[in-house]
Amino acid sequence: MNAGTAPFDLVIIGASGRMGRSLLQQLPRFPALRLHAAVAGPESRFLGQDSGELAGLPPNGVPIAASLEAALDNAALAMDFSTAAATADRVRLCAAAGVPLLLGTTGFGPGIATVLTDAARRIPVLEAANTSLGAAVLRDLVRQAATTLGTAFDVSVRDIHHREKRDAPSGTALALGAAIQEASGTPGQIQYTSVRDGDVVGQHEVLFLGEGESLRLSHEATDRSVFARGALRAGLWLVRQAPGRYQISDLFKEK
């Protein structure tokens, strides 16, 4: 950020959740972003609580609020790491307010595609099932392997997450599967296995099984702050983009 340039005002949707709190904890490392509002569901028991204190930080004067529409007023960027319910409504509100959106929520199903396409005519929308650099590299490696191996190898995708994660397979697992199908040029069968147990942050493994040989590609996140820092970095990139639909790989292409 250049001297004299005001920071971008950020709205965190799902601020009381695991990822929301991690974003709050990592935000001080990004002076080009400033917390504008912290939003949770209307039934959240944390409504009215200082969002800084909720994240284990000193008070920041920004309470957890329920109204996204009010939060988006004068905002420059929104990050949604809330639950899948009402995702379409949240996307529409961001588009109506002209606020760029990083959508980290997963498990909302294919019906959201039309809503995202409509929103992307007015604002930049980044769909980020996983915001870590390592996971982005894994997707590129998986795509390369699928291109080379084609349909000669059977493929399985396995993901392991904490017991509270609701969607299975994970959004990252499905993105890996989509990359495989696109690269191989065939909608071949991919076997998905999901484990929900303990407090695992996130593990993903792709296994290519051929005759007499196998190839295993994997990524493991041991600290949720990896995703938070990646999301904040991606958000700073997103606010400078034209309206359209983007993926996290678009950000890393500029390295």
Cβ atoms within 10 Å, residue 230: 24
According to DSSP, the β-strands at 202-209 and 214-221 are antiparallel
36 is catalytic: no
The C-alpha atoms of residue 235 and residue 36 are separated, in whole angstroms, by 14
According to DSSP, the β-strands at 190-196 and 154-161 are parallel
Cβ-contact 91, 101 below 8 angstroms: yes
Which of 161, 162, 204, 255 is an active site residue?
161
The C-alpha atoms of residue 128 and residue 103 are separated, in whole angstroms, by 6
165 is catalytic: yes
Cβ-contact 99, 72 below 8 angstroms: yes
Which of 36, 162, 165, 253 is an active site residue?
165
178-181's contacts with Cβ under 8 Å and 24+ in sequence apart are 179/139, 179/142, 179/143, 179/146, 180/142, 180/143, 180/146, 180/155, 180/206, 181/146
What is the Cα gyration radius of the chain? 19
Catalytic (active-site) positions: 161, 165
